[in-house]
Amino acid sequence: MRNIQNNQYQKADGESFLSKIKSFIKQHPYIFSGIVGGFIVIVVVVIVLCVVLTKEEKTNEEEEIVGNPIFPLEESSKLEVMEIYNNIGNNDKSTLNVFHEYLSQKSFNLKDEQKVYLAYYWITKNIIYDYDGLNNDNAVISPAEVFPKRKTVCSGYAILFKDLLLSMKYPESKILYISGYAKGAGYSPYIEPTSNHAWNAVEINGKWCLIDTTWDAPYDDEYYLCTPPKCFVRDHLPERNNSLQFLKEPISLETFHGLIETYREKFCKNYLEIIEDKAIQNICGNGKIIIKYNEKFKDAETSLVFVPYSLPLGVSYFINRINNGFEINLSVNEAGKFVYHLLFNSNMMGTINFQCNEEPTEKYYYPTIFSTYSESDAQLISPMERYLIRGKKYNFEIRTNDFEKLTIIMGREKIPMDKQGNIFKKEIEIHGEFNDVDIYSTDVDCLLWYEIIDE
């Protein structure tokens, strides 16, 4: 792997470097007025420029390398691949050697990305997962055995993918077999992790591309065909080599367990990005998750729902709208293990696993949200606590573009909030014998509910 990484970075072009030195000399002629002193300065300047320019070249190169090529293929390129696939005939029905020969001949003029797609497509359409072999510990993984049986487990998928690319004269140094941890069947963040999956990475046009033929075999969406690394790492983590994450800032195994386990399509292919959800696996007290969406949803109606999957239910949460996204505030108020689902526009997005090992010393509860609030473009600024103390003053503040007026209701008292642009504000003192405070947008649409307590 070290050799592969070293080969990724190209030295700065000689002519380009010399031209920059000449330009520097023309702009700073006074540096060379001395003889001995000038010579020393020249040497120093050259060394400094070498370091700076080489670092800049490497940084720019690295930014280009860490990524993924554009898939799916252009229509014309894809048609060439599909023609080869559709004309296979009996060439994949006899022996693996015959199939190798067919692929070698037909792929001679194909581009790298076309070869990758041909190997990927054939495997995902012809190889099924061997559940019996997995359970009985007798699954075959060598290409010579997988090919006639047409079934294998994840390691067999990854090995066969590499084998087919090699038959198409794809450079072996540009094909990687990766083993590690995956959030598939049987995964739990609460047990001692062991390597349980295998996948591939291939270098295409100077960029590394992550591929999981096992997980794409039952589907047609090609989700794990060159998935962006920041999405791929949410459910795939290499066992030993962090560089195989292809991230500028690789994550740890502990962080991996804490990341939201996302579902196909819903985050990355719908342009949703989880900005902040690190270190929420082991949480007692307050935590935060920030989810952003791109311009695709800027003017669309969007909603996010946080749904408990199982008991215990000792978690208080509040979802706030922020610029192009959502902020989920969490407070874990009792010991236990928790599983929550995220739904974006009624579609399942992901699952969050987190736990609290000890009873929290401090507990925090957020106001109760009603659908009028959760389905609107609104952000509660204050107060964020559910329990309001009788006799104390509070500044109520909400940012929203969806309502013309908001009213605070305390018992029979209705207090209009003052509007300034898209901000509603009002300072009130909690008084009387009332037990709750509500915020309404109309006479019947309640947004938020607070509970009044005595200090």
Domain count, the chain: 4
Residue whose pair of structure tokens reads 């292919």 in the numeric block: 269
**What's the token pair of residue 34?**
């001395």
CATH number of the domain where residue 149 is located: 3.10.620
Sequence-distant (6+) residues with CB within 8 A of 393 are 427, 428, 429, 430
Query: Does one domain contain both 208 and 286?
Result: no
Q: Going residue by residue through the chain, which has 455 residues, state the pLDDT in tens, using 9 for 90 and above.
A: 333 333 332 333 333 434 444 444 444 444 434 433 444 434 344 444 444 344 433 333 333 334 445 566 788 999 999 999 999 988 888 899 999 999 999 999 999 999 999 999 999 999 999 999 999 999 999 999 999 999 999 999 999 999 999 999 999 999 999 999 998 877 777 777 788 999 999 999 889 999 999 999 988 888 899 988 988 998 999 998 999 999 999 998 888 887 887 777 666 656 566 766 655 666 777 777 888 776 666 666 777 777 877 655 788 889 888 877 888 888 888 888 888 888 887 778 888 877 788 888 888 999 999 988 988 889 999 999 999 999 999 999 999 989 999 999 999 899 999 999 999 999 999 998 889 999 999 888 999 999 999 98
Q: Is 373 domain-assigned?
A: no
Q: Is 70 domain-assigned?
A: no
Report how far apart the first and last C-alpha atoms of the chain are (Å, whole number): 63
CA angle, residues 87, 121, 86, in degrees to nearest 5: 15
| Closest-CA residue to 342 (of 374, 295, 365, 314) | 374
Query: Does one domain contain both 102 and 250?
Result: yes
| Closest-CA residue to 260 (of 182, 350, 337, 336) | 350
Query: Does one domain contain both 83 and 53?
Result: no
Query: Does one domain contain both 99 and 245?
Result: yes
Query: Does one domain contain both 202 and 58?
Result: no
| Closest-CA residue to 309 (of 270, 354, 277) | 354
Question: For the segment 409-436, what is each residue's pLDDT rounded down to a tens digit?
Answer: 999 899 999 999 999 999 999 998 889 9
Backbone angles phi, psi at 211, to 5 degrees: -140, 135
Domain termination site, one of 47, 65, 83: 65
CATH number of the domain where residue 384 is located: 2.60.40.10
Query: Does one domain contain both 255 and 270?
Result: no
Question: For the segment 270-286, what is each residue's pLDDT rounded down to a tens digit?
Answer: 656 676 665 566 677 77
- The domain of 38 spans 2-65
Domain termination site, one of 16, 34, 65: 65
- Separation CA 357–CA 54 (nearest Å): 49
CA angle, residues 332, 338, 340, in degrees to nearest 5: 100
Query: Does one domain contain both 305 and 162?
Result: no
Q: Is 371 domain-assigned?
A: no
Query: Does one domain contain both 10 and 105?
Result: no
Query: Does one domain contain both 143 and 184?
Result: yes
Domain termination site, one of 259, 293, 311: 259
Exposed / middle / buried, residue 443 (Cβ in 10 Å: 0-12, 13-18, 19+): exposed
Query: Does one domain contain both 224 and 348?
Result: no
| Closest-CA residue to 336 (of 354, 362, 309, 363) | 354
Query: Does one domain contain both 141 and 212?
Result: yes
Query: Does one domain contain both 61 and 124?
Result: no
